[in-house]
């Protein structure tokens, strides 16, 4: 009897110890991912500033290496990184504040033109067969009060970002100061889990990919902003520098940034110059932005980070939903982080990594 019980116990342990089927593992993984991202969504007000600070530190961190090679003490090299990071944040903040200020200041001067344009859109839509309520609803976006309210809403949002900006500044200091120690500790911990070579390779590819991504985006964004601003100035669209700044910022939003940057100047062109000027603005953006941002830039981005176009577009929507508007700008680094943490060290995840767009060389190096 005792032997039977022992045998039964062994059989039960063996049955319990059998590995899960691939489908079961996938379901468990998806369930864990849902729980994880739900937690990120609930903590988005805390995590979004930390994510922005981490990306800025990653971009500025290479400044310390040549300084340390020249004999600078660690604290002074860290200070240099903090200064560069603060300069990046300051430039972006000044550009956004200036653009919003110029736009709000312009609205009172265009109140009459906005009202007349709204009336003209009402008449045009009514002539197409739409009922008067439908036409009025469709033209409400040209009402001066509605545009002013939207501008104030943007200003309120900026104030909220300014509050989070304080935490970003603090995070930058802490992350930079702890950078060297974190590198050594993270390398040691990950080496115990993945192996030293693999851990170092994953970290190096991730940080390098993030830097290359923002260098590519900043370069193309500057080119697009200059060309858009000059051509908008040439055709007579007011405050072209504001729309150039908007084009530069929205260039950091993959795939849909072009549309976001086009809508405001196109509406303003309709108000000040009618349909011909609006169509001219749309044509300008289609020629410049579509060629550079849609046809040329994705190739450089894909080479820099190894993400497929489909996954890049999905990342924008997903991360904007999870952590808010800043998620659209940080979507590619966040997706790269997920791939680095959960898939790059797994030799069985080659198919997933290949579908994500990772190149063959990276696949062989990582797994």
Crossing angle of the two packed helices 331-342 and 196-235, in degrees rounded to 10: 170
Question: What pLDDT does 7 receive?
Answer: 47
Question: What pLDDT does 181 receive?
Answer: 64
Question: What pLDDT does 27 receive?
Answer: 79
Question: What pLDDT does 222 receive?
Answer: 92
Question: What pLDDT does 254 receive?
Answer: 81
DSSP codes, 150-210: HHHHHHHHHHHHHHHHHHHHHHHHHHHHTHHHHHHHHHHHHHHHH-HHHHHHHHHHHHHHH
Neighbours of 130 (CB within 10 A): 15
Domain range annotation of the chain? 213-367
Question: What pLDDT does 346 receive?
Answer: 57
> What is the model's pTM?
0.72
Question: What pLDDT does 267 receive?
Answer: 85
Contacts with 341 (C-beta within 8 Å, 6 or more apart), sequence order: none
Q: Please give the chain's pLDDT, 367 residues, in tens.
A: 444 444 444 444 444 556 666 667 677 777 888 888 888 888 888 888 888 888 888 888 888 888 888 888 888 888 898 999 999 888 888 888 888 778 777 777 666 666 666 666 666 666 665 555 544 454 455 555 555 565 555 555 665 666 667 778 788 887 787 766 665 555 454 444 444 446 667 777 888 888 888 888 899 889 999 999 999 999 988 889 999 998 998 888 887 888 888 888 988 888 888 888 889 999 988 888 878 877 777 777 777 777 777 788 888 889 988 988 888 888 888 888 888 887 766 555 555 555 555 654 344 444 4
Question: What pLDDT does 177 receive?
Answer: 73
* CB-based contact 253:316 (threshold 8 Å): yes
Considering only CA atoms, which of 241, 3, 227, 197 is closest in space to residue 99?
Answer: 241
Task: Report the sign of the C-alpha dihedral through residues 168, 173, 178, 183, in that order.
Answer: positive
């Amino acid at each position: 009897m005792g032997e039977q019980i022992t045998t039964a116990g062994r059989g039960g342990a063996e049955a319990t110890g059998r590995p899960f089927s691939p489908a079961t593992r996938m379901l468990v993984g998806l369930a864990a991912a849902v729980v994880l991202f739900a937690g990120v969504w609930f903590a988005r007000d805390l995590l979004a500033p930390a994510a922005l600070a981490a990306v800025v530190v990653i971009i500025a961190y290479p400044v310390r290496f040549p300084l340390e090679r020249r004999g600078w003490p660690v604290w002074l090299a860290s200070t240099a990184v903090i200064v560069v990071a603060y300069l990046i944040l300051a430039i972006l903040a000044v550009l956004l504040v200036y653009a919003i200020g110029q736009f709000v200041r312009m609205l009172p001067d265009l109140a009459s033109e906005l009202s007349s344009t709204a009336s003209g859109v009402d008449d045009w839509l009514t002539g197409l067969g739409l009922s008067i309520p439908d036409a009025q609803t469709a033209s409400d976006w040209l009402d001066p009060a509605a545009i002013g309210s939207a501008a104030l809403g943007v200003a309120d949002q900026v104030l909220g970002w300014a509050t989070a900006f304080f935490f970003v500044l603090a995070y930058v200091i802490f992350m930079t100061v702890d950078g060297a120690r974190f590198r050594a500790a993270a390398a040691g911990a990950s080496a115990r889990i993945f192996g030293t070579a693999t851990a170092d390779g994953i970290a190096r590819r991730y940080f390098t990919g993030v830097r290359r991504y923002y260098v590519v985006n900043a370069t193309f964004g500057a080119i697009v902003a200059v060309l858009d601003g000059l051509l908008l100035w040439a055709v007579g669209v007011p405050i072209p520098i504001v729309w150039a700044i908007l084009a530069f910022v929205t260039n950091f939003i993959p795939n849909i940034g072009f549309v976001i940057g086009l809508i405001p100047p196109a509406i303003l062109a309709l108000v000040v110059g009618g349909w011909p000027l609006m169509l001219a603005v749309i044509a300008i953006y289609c020629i410049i932005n579509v060629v550079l941002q849609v046809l040329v830039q994705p190739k450089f981005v894909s080479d820099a980070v190894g993400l497929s176009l489909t996954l890049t577009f999905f990342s924008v929507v997903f991360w904007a939903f999870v952590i808010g508007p800043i998620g659209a700008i940080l979507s590619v680094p966040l997706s790269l982080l997920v791939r680095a943490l959960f898939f790059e060290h797994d030799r069985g995840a080659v198919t997933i990594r290949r579908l994500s767009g990772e190149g063959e060389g990276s696949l062989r190096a990582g797994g």
